Each structure stands twice: as structure tokens, then as C-alpha cells.
Amino acid sequence: MNTIPKITLKRCKNDDWQIVEKMEKVAKSRLFSPFEGEKKIKEYIRKSEVYMILKGDDPIGTVSYEVKKDGHILFNGLVVLPKYRKRGIGSTAIQKALKRAGNRKAELIVHPENTVALIIYLKLGFKIKSWKDNYFGDGESRLILWKD
Ligand SMILES: CC(C)(COP(=O)(O)OP(=O)(O)OC[C@H]1O[C@@H](n2cnc3c(N)ncnc32)[C@H](O)[C@@H]1OP(=O)(O)O)[C@@H](O)C(=O)NCCC(=O)NCCS
């Protein structure tokens, strides 16, 4: 059985914006709407808890959530660099971020055809609550998931 590589999470600072942008660009597809440009990424880092996923000292992805007014968290980013995928890192990163947030109620938005991400979330106990057409204005639908 393969073991999951050891990863740690480190909170991103403003200065990390270029690394974050690189990760977002790598993940860009019809199924994943990235944060783009210095202004948008810096705003993302300021408004959300954005964590670098580190393997040793190497950044290999990001995971992020926003704390909403009512206290629940909204996961608004998960990227693992292609080279490091399919080893359990994405799933572990979400679990670590949930723990950091005190295992509070969590919301998540995912493209209905992003089966890799969707399966990770369902396995972690998220449940599909609704379907929204054109959620980000890009003509693509999204599923809204919740975990108590
Ligand atoms: C989604 C993403 C973060 C997953 O990262 P990852 O590190 O590969 O995920 P994991 O290795 O934890 O995968 C978890 C499960 O999915 C399975 N899986 C992962 N990639 C898969 C693939 N390409 N095909 C089939 N199954 C896959 C794994 O086997 C694992 O299942 P298991 O628990 O039964 O072993 C990564 O694919 C990514 O960065 N995608 C682009 C950005 C994106 O779509 N983010 C999600 C936005 S909501």
C-alpha cells in the first residue's frame, strides 16, 4: 500500500502572490475557475485563509477557505500540482484545513463534472445540497456541498 507523502500547511502572505498565481494557472480549466492577476490574488490572500501545501520546503499546492459572517467556512480553493496528484495529498490538505478551522460547518463549491474533486469531498462527508447554473458567470454549473 502506498503511503501518503507528509505535507504541512503554511499560511500565505501577500508576498506569496506569484506562487499562488502559478498554482491557480496550472489548474485552470472549464472545471476550475482560478483567481487571476496580482490584484485579485492579493485580495484572495487578504480575505481568505490561503495555505500553501508544502512537501518539505517545496510548495506543491494550495488550499483555502473563507470564514463567513455566520461562522461557517467556505472552501474556495484546492490545487495540487499535477506531478503530485493521486497520492492522497488533496484529500489530506482538506482534512488539515478543516482541522485548523476547528472542524466547523463547511461549504464547498465544485463543478459537477469535476469527479476527482467531488469524490474526495463526498468521501470526507460532504453532501450535495444544490445545483446552480452559471454560478461564476462563466456559463458553467456548480454543485454546492455542505458538511456539518
Ligand atoms: C482535485 C485535486 C486537488 C485532487 O488532488 P489529489 O492530490 O490528486 O487528490 P487525492 O490524491 O487526495 O485523491 C483522492 C481520491 O481521488 C482519487 N483520484 C485522484 N485523482 C484521480 C484521477 N485522476 N482519476 C481517478 N481517481 C483519482 C484517488 O485515487 C483518491 O481516491 P482514494 O481515496 O480511493 O485513494 C487535483 O486533481 C487538482 O489540483 N485539480 C485541479 C484543481 C481542482 O479541480 N480543484 C478542485 C476545485 S473544487
Count of domains in the chain? Answer: 1
Residue 3 forms part of a structural domain: no
> From the CA of 91, how far away is ligand 1's center (Å)?
7
Q: Tell whether ligand 1 has an atom less than 6 A from the beta carbon of residue 87.
A: yes
Residue 1: per-residue pLDDT: 57
The pTM of this model reads 0.93
Q: Tell whether ligand 1 has an atom less than 6 A from the beta carbon of residue 90.
A: yes
Residue 98 forms part of a structural domain: yes
Residue 84 forms part of a structural domain: yes
Q: Tell whether ligand 1 has an atom less than 6 A from the beta carbon of residue 110.
A: yes
Nearest C-alpha neighbor of 97 from the set 113, 111, 79, 81 = 79
Q: Tell whether ligand 1 has an atom less than 6 A from the beta carbon of residue 119.
A: yes
Task: List Cβ neighbours of 111 (8 Å cut-off, separation of 6 or more).
Answer: 30, 31, 32, 117, 140, 141, 142, 143
Q: What is the CATH number of the domain that holds 42?
A: 3.40.630.30
Residue range(s) defining the domain that contains residue 114:
8-147
Q: Which residue's CA is minimally distant from atom 28 of ligand 1? A: 86
Nearest-5° Cα angle at 113, 136 to 53: 75
Mean pLDDT per 10-residue run, the chain (148 residues)?
Answer: 86 97 95 94 97 97 97 97 97 97 96 97 98 92 97
Residue 31 forms part of a structural domain: yes
